[in-house]
Amino acid sequence: MSETRIGLFVGSIASLVMVFLVLPQVILLVQSFTAEDYLSFPPRLALVIGTAAAIGLDRGPMVLRKAMRTALVSPMILPHVVLGMAIYRVFLPIRFDDTVTGFLIAHLVLCVPYVIVTVGASLQGMDRSLEQAAVSLGASVPMALWRVVLPLIRPGLIGGAVFAFITSFDEFIVTYFLASRQTTAPIQIFSSLSYQLEPSIAAVSGLTLVVTAALCGLLILRGGMAGTARVA
């Protein structure tokens, strides 16, 4: 009797929390949307740099590994306001503040840690015997890395790409410090369209939802396929 009551209690709290989480998104989907121009930053470079770093951390020198890992992951926890201020302070005197390159590398620092974490996790869970087999059959280490390891950790790569994309796409405060003419979608909404839930706002939000949902779907699908491939 009391057990089912506890189960019911937990279940109902869980359902309420899920409604709480989903409500605003549903409201926004109800708003109609039209296409709108926006500028987002390709997280590809973050993926290349982050994956390289993750492999370097995993395989590289044991000394300093822990300290280096902490340092490389720290932008995730650092308040963006602090990093935004600091980057703004360094970029402004050399007038690097409002350039596409400036934006790109600022966003890179925010995205790379996510890639390092997800790819790092995949590397740790990876079965290394395949790689060793490739090397013993005569493949060079870089070749084994490129041909064997990377395909094996694909789910981690895609997860990292999704996180990097979300981070860059939705980043506000660093861009807020740096931008005058270069803008991103969040800044646009905040400045001119802000607070009037007009079609353009719903468009950008709808776009974010669709793109991220698609990426997640991709992640799940690819992840699943990679799993079956490995089993096979």
Partner 1 sequence: MIDKMKLSRRAALKTLGVAAAGALAAPSVITRSLAAGETLVVYNFDGLLGKVIKDHWIDPFSQKTGVKVEVLTMQGSSPPMAKIKAQIDAGRPDADVIPMQMTDYIFGVRNNLFQPIDAKDMPEYANLYPDYITPYGPKLVLWSYGLAYNTDKIKTAPTAWADLWDPQYKGKAALNEALFDQALEMVNLVSKGKPLPVDDGTFAALTKLRPNLATLWTTGAQAEQLLRTGEVWIMPVWNGRVYPLKDQGVPVDFVAPKEGFFTRSDPFCIPRGAKNPDIAKAFINFSCTAAPQQAMAEKLFYASPNQKVVYPPDIAKRVVVATKEDMARAVPENFEVIVDNLPEWRRRWDAWKQS
Partner 2 sequence: MASEASLPSVLAPPGAKGMWLVCLKRYGWWGLLAPALLLYALVFFLPLSVLVADSLHPSGAADLSLANYNAFFTDGITLSIFLRTVRLALFVTLACLVFGYPLALFMRRAGPAMRMVALTIVVSPLLTSVIVRNVAWLLVLGREGMVNTLLRNAGLIDGPLPLLYNTFGVVVGVTHVYLAFLVLPVFSALLAIDPSTEQAAASLGASRFTVFRRVTLPMSMAGVIAGSTLVFVLTMGVYLTPVIMGGSFVTTLPMVMTDLVRTQFDFSRAAAFGVMLLVFITAILIASSRAEKRIEQMRGEMP
- Return residues touching partner 1 (CB under 8 A): 92-95, 97-98, 176, 180-181, 183, 190-196
Nearer to partner 2, 41 or 208 (CB): 208
Of these partners, partner 2, partner 1, none, which one is at the site of residue 71 (CB under 5 to 8 Å by kind)? Answer: partner 2
Of these partners, partner 1, partner 2, none, which one is at the site of residue 219 (CB under 5 to 8 Å by kind)? Answer: none
CA nearest neighbour of 29 among 205, 214, 211, 215? 205
Nearer to partner 1, 170 or 198 (CB): 198
Q: Give the distance from CA 78 to its chain's centroid.
A: 16
- Cα distance between residue 45 and residue 42, in whole Å: 7
Nearer to partner 1, 2 or 180 (CB): 180
- Cα distance between residue 232 and residue 186, in whole Å: 44
Q: In this structure, are residues 188 and 38 in contact, taking their beta carbons and an 8 Å threshold?
A: yes
* CB of 187 vs partner 1, minimal distance in Å: 8
Of these partners, partner 2, partner 1, none, which one is at the site of residue 56 (CB under 5 to 8 Å by kind)? Answer: partner 2
Q: In this structure, are residues 193 and 209 in contact, taking their beta carbons and an 8 Å threshold?
A: no
Of these partners, partner 1, partner 2, none, which one is at the site of residue 25 (CB under 5 to 8 Å by kind)? Answer: partner 2
* CB of 39 vs partner 1, minimal distance in Å: 14
Q: In this structure, are residues 50 and 115 in contact, taking their beta carbons and an 8 Å threshold?
A: yes
Q: Which of helix, strand or coil describes residue 129?
A: helix
* CB of 181 vs partner 2, minimal distance in Å: 17
* CB of 219 vs partner 1, minimal distance in Å: 35
Nearer to partner 2, 24 or 227 (CB): 24
DSSP, residue by residue, 51-82: HHHHHHHHHS-STTHHHHHHHHHGGGTS-HHH
* CB of 21 vs partner 1, minimal distance in Å: 23
Q: In this structure, are residues 154 and 228 in contact, taking their beta carbons and an 8 Å threshold?
A: no
Of these partners, partner 1, partner 2, none, which one is at the site of residue 123 (CB under 5 to 8 Å by kind)? Answer: none
